[in-house]
Amino acid sequence: MRKKLIWSFIVLILVVSIYNLIIRTRTVTYMGENKNWFIKINAKLVGLNRSYSIEVKYKGKATIQNADFNIHPRHYDLGFHSFNKNGYYWVCKDDCGYYDKDSKLLFFIVWKEKNDTEEKMNFIDLRKINN
């Protein structure tokens, strides 16, 4: 009887472990905005595969010539030159970093509007939203 109980417990632990590692999708969302930008990061972990998407939306009226951003403390950076017709820019990667440890990220963006000689910059706090 005792052996059956021990084996049942071991099987239960294995089933729960397999579910958490392979089947269950863990997700986290970070969001933040200011008068110029709306930023949303969706990250997910399915088994051992990680992916995320970064949604960057310019809320201003001008046309963006180029922009560069960094996310801290992960130090992920990217430059981009175009938005779709609704002002969104998406970055989708597979098998990449998974944000979930920090309750807050800092998004730093530098951009240049078309026909403007000066670059502009903003710091935007991204807050973790529990999923």
Contact by Cβ (8 Å): 121, 107 = no
- 27-70 confidence digits (pLDDT tens): 788 899 999 999 988 877 665 566 677 888 888 888 888 888 88
At residue 84, the 3 state secondary structure works out as coil
pTM for this model (two decimals): 0.67
Q: Which of 55, 106, 109 is nearest to 83 (CA)?
A: 55
In 3D space, the residue among 61, 37, 56, 35 whose CA is nearest the CA of residue 116 turns out to be: 61
**d(Cα 50, Cα 25) in Å, to the nearest integer?**
10
Task: Name the more confident of 116 and 37.
Answer: 37
